[in-house]
Amino acid sequence: MKIIVTGGAGFIGSNIVDAYLERDHEVHIFDDLSTGQRVNLNAKATLHELDIADRKAAHCIEQLKPDILCHHAAQMDVRHSVADPTFDARVNILGFINLLEAAKNAGVKKVIFASSGGAVYGEQEIFPAPEDHVTRPASPYGVSKRAGELYLSYYHQAFGLPYIALRYANVYGPRQSAKGEAGVVAIFLSLLLDGKTPVINGDGRQTRDYVFVGDVVAANVAALDAPFVGEINIGTGVETDVVTIFQHLRQAIGGAIDAQHGPAKPGEQRRSVIDAHRAAEVLGWRATVPLAEGLQRTSAWYRGASGR
């Protein structure tokens, strides 16, 4: 199949590109390299250095006429979305509509969309949250991701464009950047390797659902052929607190460092975990990499042991 992966130079996108190429698909990457890294680029893919909100990106889709649009380009920094909601909406909403219009015109067979479980549900009522859980995004980022899903639903109703929106849990793994507001795994690993003391916000008992990027990639592969249309949680259903993550990482690195506890972040969600039963049913997918192993593999990558 011919597949466009937007954000294909980024953390999750580039891992997906590698998997699609391994399965002999023709892969085109759309990335403006604003946060994506050239070193993540797979040489077998074609890079189109484009801003997804630009007309040129739409033209490019109309010319390529891909089978699949796998959309992972995004403004992905929650804090930045709060500081500059207009920018967040320009990239995550207007940029996406730009691509969807072109996808409709180009006869794309399916759109795979990177959504976010934690961000679209907001403060949860049910643990773990199933897909029909009420959505109350607590940040412009969550709003823009939810908006993306609603636009997909509209394009499906109005034009019969099939889609799968993958609502990711907290994704971690090789190639995650430690810059800006990234995942706690990348930030802690980077500090530990620098010999610095990570600071845990509050008591460190806040929980998240941590899913290894290799598992997320497998979901994107399964989504290519699954006949399902709609939202699917991609997580483990298991809650892990920050203190436990730190302990695993310290062990993986072999350090003696103790974390410091700083003040709790106001407004930070206490618990977040998503129910992945639908993924098992409609994608035949489940998370297979245990946390300890995933963190081990991630730390090996950060230490350069697995090469980049």
Partner 1 sequence: MARYLVTGGAGFIGSHLCESFLSQGHEVLCMDNYSTGAKQNIGVFLKNPRFRFIDHNISRYIEVQEPLDYILHFASPASPVDYLELPIPTLKVGALGTHNTLGLAKAKSAVYLLASTSEVYGDPLVRPQTEEYWGNVNPIGPRGVYDEAKRFAEAMTMAYHRYHGLNTRIVRIFNTYGPRMRLHDGRVVPNFIMQALKGEPLTVYGQGEQTRSFQYVDDLVAGLNRLLAADHHLPVNIGNPHEMTVLEFAKKIIELTGSKSEIVYKPLPEDDPQVRQPDITKAKKILGWEPKVQLEEGLLKTIEYFRARLAEQKS
Enumerate binding residues for partner 1 (CB under 8 A).
39, 190, 193-197, 253, 255-258, 302-305, 308
CB-wise, 132 or 258, nearer to partner 1? 258
Query: Which residue intervals of 107-241 are DSSP H helices?
Result: 117-121, 140-159, 184-194, 213-225
Instruction: Say whether 141 is catalytic.
Output: yes
CA separation (Å) from 121 to 127, 275, 286? 11, 12, 21
CB-wise, 19 or 193, nearer to partner 1? 193
CB-wise, 221 or 257, nearer to partner 1? 257
CB-wise, 39 or 43, nearer to partner 1? 39
State in angstroms the smallest separation of the CB of 257 from partner 1.
4
d(C-alpha 69, C-alpha 100), whole Å = 9
State in angstroms the smallest separation of the CB of 220 from partner 1.
25
R_g (Cα) of the chain, nearest Å: 19
Residue 203 burial (C-beta neighbours within 10 Å; 0-12, 13-18, 19+)? exposed
Sign of CA dihedral 133, 136, 139, 144: positive
State in angstroms the smallest separation of the CB of 170 from partner 1.
21
| Catalytic site residue from 141, 163, 168, 302 | 141
d(C-alpha 63, C-alpha 289), whole Å = 39
Residue with tokens 């109309």: 62
State in angstroms the smallest separation of the CB of 187 from partner 1.
12
CB-wise, 266 or 307, nearer to partner 1? 307
d(C-alpha 245, C-alpha 251), whole Å = 10
| Cβ-contact 36, 75 below 8 angstroms | no
State in angstroms the smallest separation of the CB of 191 from partner 1.
9
Compute how many other C-beta atoms are within 10 angstroms of the C-beta atom of residue 306: 11
> Which residues are the active-site residues?
141
